[in-house]
Amino acid sequence: MTEIVRLALEEDIGTGDVTSAACVPETQLASGRFLAREPLIIAGLELLPEFYRHVTVHKRDGDACAAGDMIAEVSGPARTLLERERVVLNFLQRLSGVATLARRFADAVQGTKCQVLDTRKTTPGLRRLEKMAARAGGVTNHRQGLFDAILIKNNHIAAAGGVRNAIERARPSGLPVEIEVRTREELHEALDAGAAHLLLDNLTPDEAAEWVREIAGRAKVELSGRIHLENVRAYAETGADFVSSGAITHSARAMDISFRLELA
């Protein structure tokens, strides 16, 4: 059992599910169905075998579900199904929320050359799962953490003593290097230093389009800052290679999924 699942069950069950123990015979068997109660993109199904021994899935992560669709069925001791119901729903509802919002972002930029990236603005402890959900929804995972790519931001530039210093010190790592530039002076300094991937933050779509034209393909361009579902298309149409939005993970709402128990 994965650590996050163990911790979630321990948090909820504690010393025991006193309601199920009081009301349900220990030998009672049951089955249960997970049902979509609204249109959604499902995610988190890989967790079900962590909770139940007998699982039948009717969907795959990334599948669209209509209201009323059966997502999965499980079976086993009724007490086990009942004591794990809320925790499983919490995972499925949260992760499906991320996948559903991610799909809306991906659909919004369809037909442009721009890819949507997720960010590190994830729920502590759930990053791997939330990024898997974002990918199931159709966006591209950016960094998993601080360890797998270099992203030089304004405070790194200040600490390094300038754009060129930061780039030159990062280059020997062999890792992908991206740098945030906030002014035209920083932009020119980064390009002169051979930057291959630029992050432009908090520009309007018109400003971003102007900067992209000036960069003229000399580096990959990512746009970020204040990008949400209503304006992501405008940013994608600037000619940027990527747009990133923390909203995909930090602002996704839980989707409505229910669990129906039936005695065996």
Catalytic residues: 86, 121, 153, 180, 201
**Cα angle, residue 238 at apex, residues 233 and 240 outer, rounded to 5°:** 95
Residue the block writes with tokens 């909203």:
247
Q: How far apart are CA 21 and CA 240, in angstroms?
A: 58
Place of tokens 């890819």: 115
Query: DSSP E strands: which ranges in 6-153?
Result: 29-36, 40-41, 54-57, 64-65, 70-77, 115-117, 150-152
The β-bridge partners of 203 are none
Rounded Cα distance between 240 and 254, Å, is: 31
For the purposes of burial, counting CB atoms within 10 Å of the CB of 127, is it exposed (0-12), middle (13-18) or buried (19 or more)? middle
Task: Tell me how far CA of residue 16 lies from CA of 12, 20, 75, in angstroms.
Answer: 9, 9, 20
Amino acid identity of residue 203, one-letter, is L
Report the Cα 126 to chain-centroid distance in Å: 9
- Identify the DSSP state of 179: E
Q: What DSSP designation does 145 have?
A: S
